[in-house]
Amino acid sequence: MTVLSMSRMEIDRVHVLRDLLAERIRTREAAQLMGVMTRQVFRLLRAYHAGGPAALISKKRGKLSNRSYPHGKPIAFYSDKHATFRVNKVGATGGDGMTQFGRALHELNIDIICANIPQAKGRVERANGTLQDRLVKEMRLAGVSTIEAGNAFLSAFMEDYNRHFAKLPFNDKDLHRPLAAHDDIEDAFAWKEARTVSFNLTLQYDKVLFMLEPNETTRPLARQRVTIYDYPDGHFAIKHQGRSLPYKVFDKLQQVDQAAIVENKRLGQILAMIAEQQKQMDMKRSNKAPRRRGQGQSMFKVG
C-alpha cells in the first residue's frame, strides 16, 4: 500500500474534485472552494484523472522556497525615472539629494539604476497593464468579493501568471546578499526628516510640537539639527547622531486649554500663542508626510 503525504489544502482539493466529478457542485463553485481560477480547476481535474490524488501533491515539496532566504537584499534596484526613486527637480538644493525611497536603499547599501530606454520602461508598463486588467477580471470570474478571499486567491494567481509569462534568468544563482550586522530594517524604512531644535528645546513636524526633555544630552542641542523617525506603525523617535532623545508631544491639532498651559510652564508663552492661532489655522495635516490610515494607535488622526 502506498502512503501519500498530503497537506490539508491538497486533501481538501481531492474532496472538491470528487464532488465536481459527481456533479454535486459546478466548476465555478469548485474554483471558489479551492481559491483558484476556473481554468486552473480544469488543469487540476486533468491531473487528477491522469494520476489520482498523488498528482495534486506540490512538486515543490521538500525544496527551498524563495522565501527561505530571510531579509536578503539585492545588489541594485532597476526602476524608471519616477520621482519616487530620484530627485527630478532641476536645481534642487535642499535635503541630501535623495528621495525617501532612495535614502532607504542607500542605508542598506543597495544601488538604484534608472532605465533610460523605452524598451526597459515598456516592459514594466506592460506587466502593470496586464495585472491591472487581468487580475481584476480573474477575481471577478472566481467570485472574489472580500479582502480575505482576494488574499487567498493571489497565491494561485501568481503561480498561474508566472507559469505563462515568467522568463528563466540567464543565471539562476540567487545573488541576494544577507543583511549586514549593522543593517537596521526598521530604521531604514522609517520616514525621516531633519529639524532644527529651538532654544526652548522644541521642534515641529507635521503640525505637532515635540518637546525634548531637558538633560545634559539635550541642552547642548539648541539650534542643532536632529532627525525625526516616523515609523510605518505610527510611533516616533528623535535622534541626534544615531542616539535617541527623550521627548514629550504636544499635538497642535488638539485644542489647548489653560490646564495644558499651566502644566507646561516652560512653554507657557508658546502654548498661549498656539491657542490664539488655532482659531484661524488650517486643521489639516501635511500631504507630504505618510498617511496614518490603518496604523492602529497612532497619535495622528487621518486628515
Per-residue pLDDT tens, the chain, 303 aa: give them: 455 667 777 888 888 898 889 888 888 888 878 777 777 888 888 888 888 888 887 765 555 444 444 678 888 888 777 888 888 776 655 566 789 999 999 999 999 888 776 666 666 677 777 778 888 888 888 888 888 888 888 888 888 888 887 888 788 888 888 888 889 999 999 999 999 999 989 999 887 888 999 999 999 999 999 999 998 877 889 999 989 999 988 766 565 565 655 555 556 656 656 665 666 555 556 666 665 544 545 544 444
| Residues constituting the chain | 303
CA–CA dist 188, 185 (Å, integer):
5
| CA quadruple 182, 184, 185, 189: dihedral, nearest 10 | -120
- In DSSP terms, 237 is beta-bridged to 229
CA–CA dist 246, 235 (Å, integer):
13
Whole-angstrom CA distances from 11 to 43, 69, 153, 258 are 17, 28, 18, 67
User: For 234, which DSSP code?
Assistant: S
State CA 104 to chain mean position distance: 13
The pairing of strands 111-114 and 76-79 is parallel
In DSSP notation, 62-107 reads TSPPGGGSTT-B-SEEEE-S-TTTS--STT--STTS--HHHHHHHH
pLDDT at 164: 80
CA–CA dist 72, 64 (Å, integer):
14
Please report how many Cα atoms fall inside a 13 Å half-sphere around the Cα of residue 275, on the Cβ side: 13
Residue pointed to by grid coordinates 524604512: 189
Asked if residues 68 and 174 have their Cβ atoms less than 8 Å apart, the reply is: no
pLDDT at 69: 42
The pairing of strands 243-244 and 236-240 is antiparallel
pLDDT at 217: 92
Written as one letter, the residue type at 160 is: D
pLDDT at 68: 46
| CA quadruple 134, 137, 142, 146: dihedral, nearest 10 | 100
CA proximity to 250, closest of 202, 210, 281: 210
Written as one letter, the residue type at 142 is: A
pLDDT at 194: 93
- Grid cell in block for residue 233: 506603525
Q: Hey, what long-range contacts does 24-32 have (CB within 8 A, 24 or more apart)?
A: 28/141, 28/142, 28/143, 31/141, 31/142, 31/143, 32/142, 32/143, 32/149
pLDDT at 129: 76
Q: What residues contact 134, with CB distance under 8 A and at least 6 apart?
A: 161
| CA quadruple 4, 5, 10, 11: dihedral, nearest 10 | 70
pLDDT at 234: 77
CA–CA dist 299, 303 (Å, integer):
12
